Amino acid sequence: MLLKLFSIAAVSLAVAAASITPAPAADGYTLPGKPSIAMLYYGPKNDGGWTQAFDEARVKIEKELGMKINFVENITEDASVIKPAAERFISRGANIVIGTAFGHSDAFKDLAAKYPKVAFLNASGTTNGPNLESFYGRTYESQYLCGMAAGATSKTGKLGFVAANPFGVVNWTINAFALGAQKMNPNATVNVIYTGTWNDPVKERAAASALIDQGADVIGQHVDSPTPQIVAQERGVYGTGHHRDLRQFAPKATLCSSVWVWDKFLVTELKKIIAGGWKPAPYGAFIPLKDGGTDIAGFGPAVPADKAKLILAERDALLKGKQIYAGPLLDRDGKQRVAAGQVLSDGDLWKMDWFVKGVVTQK
């Protein structure tokens, strides 16, 4: 997931901006003609993670909708790159444009205003409008399930987690991973190292190695490359992946992966756009497991069958509406974060800067 320059301040500004975004027309947005879809990939389509998950989804969407989707790779988080790429597609007849990065947000907002007859969708974005919808998955749900796999498999109860940046969207995966592990082993702990970047295999290798040296026998991750899983396999421990099924890179080590299933959400949303009368979610689509976004892939052979059955039962509970961040819930300092009978709000999720008991963070 690419979220360069993401910060609590950025999220707060995005929420504030969303609150004054003009509402869609009463009858919604309707395409002016036959649908023509284009995608702007942040990185190369074979990056093994975030972008490749979109490319794999594209193939499934094409099959489901019965149409070709054009795409371009390496559209970085720079308006001088984003706008010309989108406008080239629009000039060739594209009337649905899909972005794939937080850094596409502002450029997409400008484009949506300039081209009101074009529908825009953007993954991990923060801008919305009458013909623009940002979307992101509730990754804490799938990471909770991966945490269960980690807790069930660990011999020591000492888990490690390689994380990119201390942002809400990363912290909620760490906390969920810990809560999942502690459901299987109440004494499980999670030691976290932040690399400070989304994709740096050198830093990820150093972080994973340090965690294993400190005693971790399962390594979780929220970074873009499969490096933590590769290191886990090299060192004879286990891991849980992020973005895609990372058994591709570490079949012996990877117990479970939190994977994007963008096709499930996008097929539904694109059908709404094509049908006419589309009304984008005013604050963006924040997608639960049951509607697409993320799911789990696995299990690796090290996960006992009885434990896998328990994990799948929890997955079923999530599909039926179970809330992970339900009260009573305390942070690691004993402060109540969610009262009994309450559920953590989406706003509090996005700005999460605290950790549950058993999580130890370090740079």
Tell whether 356 and 242 lie within a shared domain: yes
The answer to the question of residue 215 being in a domain is: yes
Residue 169 sits in a domain whose CATH number is 3.40.50.2300
The burial class, CB within 10 Å (0-12 / 13-18 / 19+), for 79 is: middle
Nearest to 85 by CA among 51, 76, 169: 76
Residue 270 CA to residue 258 CA, distance in Å, equals 24
Residue numbers of the domain that contains 110? 37-137
The answer to the question of residue 281 being in a domain is: no
The answer to the question of residue 251 being in a domain is: yes
The answer to the question of residue 277 being in a domain is: no
Runs of H (alpha helix) within the chain: 8-19, 50-65, 79-91, 105-114, 139-153, 168-184, 201-213, 227-235, 262-275, 305-319, 346-350
Tell whether 123 and 165 lie within a shared domain: no
pLDDT of residue 25: 54
Tell whether 79 and 225 lie within a shared domain: no
Tell whether 43 and 148 lie within a shared domain: no
Residue 4 CA to residue 187 CA, distance in Å, equals 35
Q: Among all chains, which residue has been given the structure tokens 């690399």?
A: 195
Number of domains in the chain: 2
Residue 49 CA to residue 45 CA, distance in Å, equals 9
Q: Which of 137, 167, 192 is the last residue of a domain?
A: 137
Tell whether 218 and 88 lie within a shared domain: no
Tell whether 91 and 47 lie within a shared domain: yes
Helix (H, G, I), strand (E, B) or coil at 293: strand
pLDDT of residue 147: 98
Residue 134 CA to residue 119 CA, distance in Å, equals 11
| C-alpha 157: how far from chain center | 26
pLDDT of residue 19: 36
Tell whether 79 and 165 lie within a shared domain: no
Residue 322 CA to residue 324 CA, distance in Å, equals 7
Tell whether 150 and 206 lie within a shared domain: yes
The answer to the question of residue 117 being in a domain is: yes
Rounded to two decimals, the pTM is 0.90
Mention every residue, 6+ apart, whose C-beta is less than 8 A from residue 335.
354
CA atoms within 13 A on the CB side of 89: 25
- Positions in the chain short of pLDDT 70: 1-26
The answer to the question of residue 87 being in a domain is: yes
Q: Which of 137, 167, 191 is the last residue of a domain?
A: 137
Q: Which of 98, 114, 137 is the last residue of a domain?
A: 137
192 with 174: CB under 8 angstroms? Answer: yes
Phi-psi region of 28 (alpha: psi -120 to 50; beta: other; left: phi over 0): left
The answer to the question of residue 283 being in a domain is: no
Sign of CA dihedral 224, 227, 229, 232: negative
